Amino acid sequence: MPASVKDMLAAANAAVPKLSPIEAAEKMKSGNVLVLDVRDPTEVQQSGKLKGAVAVSRGMLEFRADPESPYHDPAFRKDATVLVHCASGGRSALAGQTLKAMGYSDVYNIGGFKDLAATGIEIEKV
């Protein structure tokens, strides 16, 4: 039976721990962290991104995360903690589940951009 988006999100949320914006801000200070923004480029251009975050649209994630891919981004390291966010938390849950399937072990869904920005995390324009 085909899975629905609701089923896929439930599985992703069960597989990827969720951090509150406050917990995420604290984790960002700990070092060896990749903050990953999986929103589409137009979204990132409109709002900016969390300072130091790497913006990779959800559709390019596997290509950027795989060290064997010609499109690999060296910011992706399997020994780093990965904090994934999007606009509201859905795409970041799915992205986190994908990263876990690719061998990234320390992955967290940190939810939506607006909630994170509201905690006072610095934003940079792109």
Beta strand 49-50 with 123-124 is: antiparallel
What CATH number corresponds to the domain at position 57?
Answer: 3.40.250.10
Cβ–Cβ < 8 Å for 73, 64 = yes
**Cα separation values, 113 from 24, 34, 63, 76, 93, Å:** 12, 15, 23, 20, 13
pLDDT of residue 126: 86
Give the number of domains in the chain: 1
pLDDT of residue 79: 96
Domain that includes residue 67, residue range = 5-124
pLDDT of residue 31: 87
Q: What is the mean pLDDT of each run of 10 residues along the chain (126 residues)?
A: 88 97 95 96 97 97 98 97 97 98 98 96 93
Helix (H) or strand (E) holding 54: strand 54-55
pLDDT of residue 1: 58
